[in-house]
Amino acid sequence: MFVLQINGEARAVDGPGDMPLLWVLRDLLGLTGTKFGCGIAQCGACTVHLDGQAVRSCVLPMSAVGNKAITTVEAVGRTESGQKIQQAWLAVDVVQCGYCQSGQIMSAAALLARNANPSDADIDAAMSGNICRCATYVRIRAAIKQAATGNAEVPQTIAPESRASQAPAVRVPQAQMPRGAVS
Amino acid sequence: MKKLYVDALKSGAGLSVSQEARWQGEARRENCTAQENCTVGSAREHSELSPYASRSAPGAVKVDRRTALKFGGLSIAFLWTATSGTASAAINARRQPGDAAAALADGNPPFAPNAFIRIDADGQVRLVMPNVEMGQGIYTGASMMLAEELEVGIDQIKIEHAPPNEELYSMPLLGGQITGGSTSTRGHWGVLREAGAVARTVLIAAAAARWRVDPAACSAARGVVTLIGTQGGSGRSLSYGALAKAAGALPMPKQVSLKDPKNFKLIGKPLRRVDSADKVTGATQFGIDVRVPGMKIATVRACPTLGGRVRGINDKRTRAVAGVVDVIVLDHAVAVVGEHFWAAKQGLDALDIEWELGDNAELTTAALRSALSDASLGGKSIVAREVGKKPVDGKLVEATYQLPMLAHATMEPLNTTVWVTAAKCEIWVGTQVPTRCVSEAAKITGLSEDKVVLHNQYLGGGFGRRLETDSVEQAVRFATKVGYPLKVIWTREEDIRHDIVRPMYHDKISAVLGSDGRPVWYGDRVCGGTVLGRWAPMAMEKNGLDDDLVECVAEVPYEIPNLKVEWVRHDMPEGVIVGWWRGVGPTHNLFVVESFMDELAHTAGKDPLEYRRALLSKNPRSLALLNLAAEKIGWGSALPARVARGIALGEPFGSRVCLIVEVEVTAQGEVRLRRAVVALDCGIAINPSSVEAQVQGGVLFGLSAALYSEITLKQGAIEQSNFHDYRSLRINETPSVELYRIDSNETPGGLGEVGTAIAAPALGNAIFAATGVRLRSLPVDRSLLVKDADALREVVV
């Protein structure tokens, strides 16, 4: 029996100590936002925070976690950097299939928490462990910069009116929209 | 296939093709022999009344080959297989009033005018998505098309996955409930707007009846019908919810009118995706996230040698693993079931399996390639298109291009959850082919299809892999052996080693140049296996041609008077199964054609841009794209040594696209992507934000494959197994990708695969311009690009 600090709660878990945190979260606790992609720390889909650091939960045995605070995508919005990242992700509309995006968001939130204004090289270093097969990378980069600076980096998507509270919808004049050069 | 297509029209068998052609806006009005039934409804003719009630009337429309090809390789092949009335069923599809079960499944909405729209008594508008969402943004695009005509806000809707139902949710362009071939927007552009307009018309009629006024005196917006001139007045507006019951009792209109595009409120706006909010919080449920009470989790291993079988197992060590529940053996694969995935995985790793490798035990990629080359030389071909004759005089240019097998490597590994009981088989899976899954499950379980219930899920990537049912069939077979719900998850290793790979190709392309350097004839002898031949063999019965194999080479954007395009069929050995891969035929053929166009330019001593320009004088839409892309990247400006640009131009999937890629090739032969500029003409862009996302992602997906991807076989087994040896592009390798659109009111073209299809030739042409090395096979072989021997001794910083 292990007691893990997950998203601010102590959770008792009955499972083998060598069981990777990924499967503890998904199969024992029902926190399925954290994804299985490769099982060998090559793709980053399983990224969670351990005391604020981005780690690959698919290769992290439960027994190695100890008392460290685990944060998953379900709760990262409660952190300042996580909230900024999620809002920027919506304003830029990063996601496609979305499967890797939990991991992308966790890596990006950890980056922003330790580096308030990351350069392109910082973004490369922090994010190159996260594969996106839809290749949303151009928008990921834009969203991280937007989260850091608060400035609209690229044309913004228009949010549905009634859900505007979930994210700041930056309206851009239509004339600027159709030929959105992004880089 | 042209013949098949027209024959289908004549016989009235082809999906009421008149409508489909009408939506494509490609059929020419003057060709209609039954004018009243085949009005050509391009966006330019937006205001005409839609002959809603006469949908199923057979209209004979002549559609030339070029038109047919624009539907995309995957699609045409299926056109003639569509059964009569499929499209009209999709339009007219009403939930049958007497079908209590369907009504219950829908939540008993008082107003369900067709297969796509449900309005509940509380006013909730539910839209049922005929296609599946695998990242391409179709849930947003389809919602916009429906909501535009229904007159509701995109914030006022709830989205539902469609259940498997060929009659209600068949894709008109494919003749089945299939998501693929970049057809979703093209195929539903008419269907969904019309479905929305029908619902709106009936709701307005209900309000008008209540108020005893002419419907023309009413207007609708944001889910409310208002009596014109009475806004704000009491009792003179009614919500859709308040009208739903009355609307449900009204007859369907004989005709509805569609909006003039200039009045679009949603279409053309860069709206946020309807699925984004849940995807950034981890709340979206993908197939792999499904949890069913009492469920156990399995992971599987099939014989690594393709086509091999299980001879026997020793599960003593497996059974000793804590949490292991069962070990299940099938002919070709073994599953270990656990209380959780980790137990199953540990158990599988501990399992001793003896394999019977079968006929492919010695098979290698080299052997496959050599057999393909032999077939190309000596095999019998089917001529796909021939115009004129090969001239005797002129300069002959010849080249052989080769493309590798590719895996899909969707981010979400393959998985299926199945619960089989004596009375029912319930399946939870993200699939591009829900009805095919149902029929396969019915065959395996012996249950009738109505006893197979499939719950479609969000797909963590598809790329064509989820057009296959192999993993679903396997899961059903395993599940029939146990009494509990079973979730089967393939490891990444299993996912890649048992991918249904994109076929390898060996193409001999040639051209004869006139004295001015322009091609007067070109020929392409495509050689490779067919996917269609397995997937839908009936689509090839007439002449044996798989049109996908010649898509984007049988027709090219350029003015070349004579040509001959043929295909030599060469199937892989039994057990090596090939499948659709993002971009299908165009991804394959555009690499060959557009690389070769550069070779011709080089042979003629012309700049690749100028050479293409000269051949596009009769194709203004594509010429405009070429010029736009060239202008935006600054074609011709000075660049450092070993930095250069490459162009590719194509007309895949009903869209037109020009990509220019700028690369640097290091002295050591490493290729760095510096910049990509895309010019696109996709007709009406439903959601410009999604268009940009699809093109950016598509281009990068194609560049990733061209740079890194190849599946190889050794002892009949796929050698790659995970992202360390089946490499995928990462953010630090990603260039800027700029999109410039030329807007028009043409009907929307396909988008999901356009970027992918155009990527590789632009890359290859840029590498040639940077190094002088022409790459005629993929992926990029860096050893050919090393500057000189000394370069390899340099320390790279």
| B464 pLDDT higher than 60 | yes
Please tell me whether residues B2 and B132 are part of one structural domain.
yes
Please give the residue of chain B at the shortest CA–CA distance from A100: B411
For chain A, the helix, strand and coil percentages under 3-state DSSP, each to the nearest 5:
40, 15, 45
The size of the A-B interface in CB pairs under 8 A is 243
| Position B65 in a domain | yes
User: Residue B254: what pLDDT?
Assistant: 81
| B45 pLDDT higher than 60 | no
pLDDT tens string B79-95: 322 222 233 333 444 44
- Which segments of B468-583 does DSSP mark as H helices, in order? 470-479, 492-497, 532-535
Please tell me whether residues B122 and B139 are part of one structural domain.
yes
Please tell me whether residues B603 and B481 are part of one structural domain.
no
Residue B277 φ then ψ, to 5°? -55, -45
| A54 pLDDT higher than 80 | yes
pLDDT tens string B724-766: 999 999 999 999 999 999 998 899 999 999 999 999 999 999 9
Range from A72-86, A162-176, B77-91, B530-544 carrying the lowest mean pLDDT: B77-91
- Residue B345: its chain A contacts at CB < 8 A? 39
User: Residue B793: what pLDDT?
Assistant: 84
Rounded CA separation B478/B333 (Å): 9
User: Residue B745: what pLDDT?
Assistant: 87
Task: State the total domains in chain B.
Answer: 3
What residues 231-250 of chain B have any CB closer than 8 A to a CB of chain A? none
Between residues B608 and A170, which one has the greater pLDDT? B608
Cα Rg of chain A (Å, integer): 17
Domain A2-74 has CATH 3.10.20.30: yes
> What is the phi-psi region of residue B392: left when phi exceeds 0, alpha when psi lies from -120 to 50, beta otherwise?
alpha
From the CA of B561, how many Å to the nearest CA of chain A? 35
Least CB–CB distance from B461: residue in A33, A99, A129 = A99
Q: Using H for helix, E for strand and C for coil, what is the string for B708-735?
A: HCCECEECCEECCCCCCCCCCCCHHHCC
| Position B372 in a domain | no
Please give the residue of chain B at the shortest CA–CA distance from A139: B693
Would you call A86 and B722 a contact, using CB atoms and an 8 Å cutoff?
A: no
Please tell me whether residues B114 and B224 are part of one structural domain.
yes
| B631 pLDDT higher than 90 | yes
- CATH label of the domain that carries residue B664: 3.30.365.10
Hey, CA dihedral for B33, B38, B41, B42, is it positive or negative?
negative
Please tell me whether residues B635 and B661 are part of one structural domain.
yes
| Position B400 in a domain | no
| Selection from B623, B759, B788 nearest residue B700 by Cα | B759
Please tell me whether residues B173 and B314 are part of one structural domain.
no
Lookup: tokens for B693: 């996302």
Please tell me whether residues B475 and B334 are part of one structural domain.
yes
Rounded CA separation B759/B761 (Å): 6
Between residues B91 and B634, which one has the greater pLDDT? B634
pLDDT tens string B479-524: 999 999 999 999 999 999 999 999 999 999 999 999 999 999 999 9
Query: Does any CB of chain A come closer than 8 Å to the CB of residue B155?
Result: yes
List C-alpha distances in Å: A3 to A10, A11, A40, B341. 6, 5, 25, 20
**Mean pLDDT for the stretch of residues B574-582:** 97
Residue reference for tokens 């700049």: B607
Half-sphere exposure (Cβ direction) of B438: Cα atoms closer than 13 Å: 20
Least CB–CB distance from B276: residue in A45, A95, A124 = A95
Query: Does any CB of chain B come closer than 8 Å to the CB of residue A158?
Result: yes
- Residue A140: its chain B contacts at CB < 8 A? 731
| Position B378 in a domain | no
User: Residue A160: what pLDDT?
Assistant: 64
| Selection from B496, B501, B238 nearest residue B365 by Cα | B501
- How would you label B207-216 residue by residue, b for 16+ Cβ within 10 Å and e otherwise? bbebbeeebe
Please tell me whether residues B179 and B322 are part of one structural domain.
no
Confidence of residue B233 (pLDDT cuts 50, 70, 90): low
- Residue B411: its chain A contacts at CB < 8 A? 35, 37, 43, 45, 97, 99-100, 131-134
**Nearby residues of B269 by Cβ (< 8 Å), 6 or more positions away:** A158, A174, A177, B687, B688
Lookup: tokens for B124: 């909730």
| Position B684 in a domain | yes
pLDDT tens string B399-418: 999 999 999 999 999 999 99
| B138 pLDDT higher than 80 | yes
Least CB–CB distance from B155: residue in A43, A86, A161 = A161
Would you call A157 and B689 a contact, using CB atoms and an 8 Å cutoff?
A: yes
Rounded CA separation A39/A18 (Å): 14
User: Residue A161: what pLDDT?
Assistant: 52
User: Residue A137: what pLDDT?
Assistant: 98
| Selection from B717, B414, B477 nearest residue B576 by Cα | B717
Please tell me whether residues B655 and B589 are part of one structural domain.
yes
- Which segments of B564-634 does DSSP mark as H helices, in order? 584-604, 608-614, 620-633
User: Residue B541: what pLDDT?
Assistant: 82
Domain boundary among B233, B265, B280: B280
Please give the residue of chain A at the shortest CA–CA distance from B725: A42
Query: Does any CB of chain B come closer than 8 Å to the CB of residue A161?
Result: yes
Least CB–CB distance from A163: residue in B277, B462, B731 = B277
| B355 pLDDT higher than 50 | yes
Would you call A181 and B739 a contact, using CB atoms and an 8 Å cutoff?
A: yes
DSSP code per residue over A43-107: S-TTEEEETTEEEEGGG-BGGGTTTPEEE-TTTGGGSHHHHHHHHHHHHHT--SS-TTHHHHHHH
User: Residue B10: what pLDDT?
Assistant: 29
Rounded CA separation B722/B683 (Å): 39
**Mean pLDDT for the stretch of residues B702-708:** 98
Lookup: tokens for B135: 């990242």
User: Residue B368: what pLDDT?
Assistant: 98
Query: Does any CB of chain A come closer than 8 Å to the CB of residue B289?
Result: yes
Half-sphere exposure (Cβ direction) of B615: Cα atoms closer than 13 Å: 25
Q: Residue B325 belongs to what H/E stretch?
A: strand B324-329
Range from A152-156, B224-228, B563-567 carrying the lowest mean pLDDT: A152-156
Please tell me whether residues B576 and B674 are part of one structural domain.
yes
CA dihedral B323, B329, B330, B336 (to 10 degrees): 20
Query: Does any CB of chain A come closer than 8 Å to the CB of residue B734?
Result: yes
Rounded CA separation B700/B703 (Å): 5
**Mean pLDDT for the stretch of residues B28-44:** 30
Rounded CA separation B444/B452 (Å): 11
Q: Where in chain A is the domain with CATH 1.10.150.120?
A: 77-170
Please give the residue of chain B at the shortest CA–CA distance from A162: B155
Q: Residue B443 sits in which domain range?
A: 287-359+414-489
Between residues B121 and B18, which one has the greater pLDDT? B121
Would you call B461 and A183 a contact, using CB atoms and an 8 Å cutoff?
A: no
| Position B226 in a domain | yes
**Mean pLDDT for the stretch of residues B454-472:** 98
Residues B279/B322, Cβ–Cβ less than 8 Å: no
The one-character DSSP state at B103 is H
Rounded CA separation B660/B649 (Å): 9
| Position B371 in a domain | no
Superfamily of domain A77-170: [2Fe-2S]-binding domain (1.10.150.120)
Structure ipTM: 0.90
From the CA of B709, how many Å to the nearest CA of chain A? 13
- Residue A133: its chain B contacts at CB < 8 A? 409-411, 461, 463, 701, 728
What is the end-to-end Cα distance of chain A in Å, rounded?
49
| B299 pLDDT higher than 50 | yes
Q: Where in chain A is the domain with CATH 3.10.20.30?
A: 2-74
Please tell me whether residues B462 and B586 are part of one structural domain.
no
Rounded CA separation B50/B22 (Å): 11
| Selection from A161, A148, A140 nearest residue A95 by Cα | A140
**Nearby residues of B187 by Cβ (< 8 Å), 6 or more positions away:** B20, B23, B75, B171, B172, B173, B174
- The arrangement of strands across the sheet holding B333-338 comes to B324-329, B333-338, B296-302, B486-489, B415-420, B425-429, B452-456
Query: Does any CB of chain A come closer than 8 Å to the CB of residue B594?
Result: no
Residue reference for tokens 């004549």: B10
Would you call A97 and B411 a contact, using CB atoms and an 8 Å cutoff?
A: yes
- Residue B412: its chain A contacts at CB < 8 A? 35, 37, 97, 99
| Position B382 in a domain | no
Q: Is B473 helix (H, G, I), strand (E, B) or coil?
A: helix
Please tell me whether residues B634 and B766 are part of one structural domain.
yes
Rounded CA separation A15/A2 (Å): 8
Average pLDDT of chain B is 88
Least CB–CB distance from B409: residue in A133, A137, A177 = A133
